[in-house]
């Protein structure tokens, strides 16, 4: 299978890629550690912005009825871009590892008028922690498995800016482009230093449209994965 994918500098291209079902991916992740007792398995889905993390996490969530997703963007809301690991640990990961339900309101929420809380019920089989930095080094030992979603740098930028413009989250096109480059100015050195792909149990292709062999391309029900 040939993939014309160019990640950011310093990140090696995963190989070989294999088309697999979401169930295959979940079984592979389940085999990476011993089964937890009295608590859910905690799997991080990490990758670059607009790289396909949310789509993959949603597919995993849909395949496991007793599962939930925690988005690191909710923990990081109005915090520093990548300084939120202690909040995730104390508010989400430590309760989950004790088999407890989570009802966590990050400190920035009430300070900036955001209602509600991050809610995860007890008794689940799987909790997926999704976001840039979800498997960062500071979380080592609190995760049962990690996925790195590898994406083409140019394609991720194109669709990330297009998504933000369509959602109107940063204002107009110029503001969306400016925000993207401001975010990248922090994301790129953070990931270059942390190198989460080196700790991943499975690497999934987040830009499968770049598969050049049409006959080997994944269907809508498959992912492309590589095992380091």
Q: Are 190 and 46 in contact (CB under 8 A)?
A: no
pLDDT, tens digit, 9 for 90 and up, residues 83-129: 999 999 999 999 999 999 999 999 999 999 999 999 999 999 999 99
Q: What are the residue ranges spanned by the domains of the chain?
A: 18-73+125-226
pTM for the model stands at 0.93
Q: What is the DSSP letter of 215?
A: G
Q: What is the pLDDT of residue 4?
A: 75
Q: What is the pLDDT of residue 195?
A: 98
Q: What is the pLDDT of residue 215?
A: 41
With a CB cutoff of 8 Å and minimum separation 6, the contacts of 25 are 60, 147, 202, 204, 223, 225
pLDDT, tens digit, 9 for 90 and up, residues 158-208: 999 998 888 877 778 888 889 899 999 999 999 999 999 999 999 999 998
Question: Domain 18-73+125-226 carries which CATH code?
Answer: 3.40.50.300
In this prediction, residue 214 has a pLDDT band, given cuts at 50, 70 and 90, of: very low
Q: What is the pLDDT of residue 212?
A: 55
Q: Are 177 and 171 in contact (CB under 8 A)?
A: no
How many other C-beta atoms can be found within 10 angstroms of the C-beta atom of residue 6? 15
Q: What is the pLDDT of residue 65?
A: 93
pLDDT, tens digit, 9 for 90 and up, residues 62-86: 999 999 999 999 999 999 999 999 9
Q: Quick one: average pLDDT of 131-155?
A: 97
């Amino acid at each position: 299978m040939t993939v014309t994918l160019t990640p950011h500098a310093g990140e090696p291209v995963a190989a070989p890629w294999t088309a697999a079902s979401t169930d295959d991916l979940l079984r592979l992740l389940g085999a990476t550690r011993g089964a937890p007792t009295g608590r859910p398995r905690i799997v991080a889905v990490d990758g670059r912005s607009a790289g396909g993390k949310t789509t993959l996490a949603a597919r995993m969530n849909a395949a496991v009825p007793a599962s939930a997703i925690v988005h690191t963007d909710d923990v990081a809301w109005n915090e520093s871009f990548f300084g939120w690991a202690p909040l995730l640990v104390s508010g989400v990961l430590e309760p989950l590892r004790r088999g407890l339900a989570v009802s966590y309101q990050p400190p920035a929420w009430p300070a900036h008028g955001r209602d509600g809380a991050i809610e995860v019920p007890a008794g689940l089989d799987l909790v997926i922690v999704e976001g840039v930095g979800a498997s960062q080094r500071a979380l080592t030992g609190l995760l049962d498995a990690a996925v790195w979603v590898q994406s083409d740098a140019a394609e991720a930028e194109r669709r990330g800016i297009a998504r933000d413009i369509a959602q109107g989250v940063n204002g107009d096109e110029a503001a969306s482009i400016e925000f993207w480059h401001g975010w990248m100015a922090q994301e790129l050195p953070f990931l270059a230093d942390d190198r989460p792909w080196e700790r991943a149990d499975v690497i999934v292709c987040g830009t499968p449209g770049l598969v050049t062999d049409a006959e080997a391309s994944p269907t809508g029900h498959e992912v492309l994965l590589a095992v380091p």
